[in-house]
């Protein structure tokens, strides 16, 4: 058995999903007064240590705090249904299909938030989604985080937790950024995808193979054992 761990943004999708999710929400649910708090959050991020988790939480609060769960759920369904060929990487779905056909466990591991990432996982047949949790209060969106931001070393810890849960399995991991090197190095079969020349060279120095998924499927086989 293998556990196939897929990053989301830039790996399954061509680009980030978090900002389009918030932007689409604001387009359909105009809100006054969000620009100032969002601007302060971005400045704080740039000047005070670049805490991506705090930035994520602050932006959710600025744009969506207080929204009833039913409204968020409706927007999430709309957003996820709108992911199409223009936003998705064909090579990712070739790899997903190979792992599924081999009977492997499919896992999304992403810093994206659980407002929508698990729904993406369900749409594309993943067994599990591990992502950044967001808090609710009395049925309304709060926006604070309930988990660490699932990025860099936190992703590595998640891979190690998967290894503890599935000790007999080989772990394959697919991701696209330098921050992902931490958890790719913890996998048995890592692959860096959709990277530029400099990042590919860095991956190759670490012995991490590279693939391009944005334009065409890869033909590399996946073994079930």
For 4-63, how does the pLDDT look when each residue is reduced to its tens digit (9 = 90+)? Answer: 999 999 999 999 999 999 999 999 999 888 999 999 999 989 988 778 999 999 999 999
Per-residue buried b or exposed e for 51-82, using 16+ beta carbons within 10 Å of the residue's own CB? ebbbbbbbbbbbbbbebeeeebeebbeebbee
Question: pLDDT, tens digit, for every residue of 130-142?
Answer: 999 999 999 999 9
pTM higher than the cut 0.95:
no
Going from the C-alpha of 195 to that of each of 74, 88, 177, 213, the distances in angstroms are: 34, 16, 7, 10
Mean pLDDT of 88-104: 97
Question: pLDDT, tens digit, for every residue of 62-90?
Answer: 999 999 999 999 999 999 999 999 999 99
Q: Going from the N-terminus, what domains does the chain have, and what CATH number goes with each?
A: 2-211 (3.40.50.1000)
Q: What is the pLDDT of residue 26?
A: 96
Question: pLDDT, tens digit, for every residue of 142-190?
Answer: 999 999 999 999 999 999 999 999 999 999 999 999 999 999 999 999 9
Q: What is the pLDDT of residue 222?
A: 45
């Amino acid at each position: 058995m293998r556990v196939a761990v897929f990053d989301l943004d830039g790996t399954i999708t061509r680009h980030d999903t978090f900002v389009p999710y918030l932007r689409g929400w604001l387009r359909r649910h105009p809100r006054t007064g969000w620009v100032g708090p969002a601007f302060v959050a971005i400045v704080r991020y740039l000047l005070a240590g670049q805490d991506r988790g705090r930035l994520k939480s602050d932006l959710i609060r600025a744009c969506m705090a207080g929204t009833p769960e039913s409204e968020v759920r409706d927007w999430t369904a709309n957003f996820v249904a709108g992911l199409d060929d223009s936003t998705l990487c064909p090579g990712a779905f070739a790899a997903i299909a190979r792992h599924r056909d081999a009977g492997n466990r499919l896992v999304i591991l992403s810093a994206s938030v659980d407002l929508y990432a698990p729904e993406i996982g369900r749409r594309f047949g993943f067994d599990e989604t591990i992502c950044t949790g967001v808090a609710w209060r009395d049925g309304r969106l709060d926006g604070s985080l309930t988990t660490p931001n699932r990025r860099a070393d936190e992703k590595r810890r998640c891979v190690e937790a998967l290894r503890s849960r599935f000790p007999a399995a080989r772990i394959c991991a697919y991701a696209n950024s330098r921050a992902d090197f931490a958890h790719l190095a913890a996998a048995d079969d890592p692959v860096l995808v959709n990277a530029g020349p400099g990042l590919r060279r860095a991956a190759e120095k670490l012995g991490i193979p590279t693939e391009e998924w944005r334009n065409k499927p890869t033909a590399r086989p996946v073994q079930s054992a």
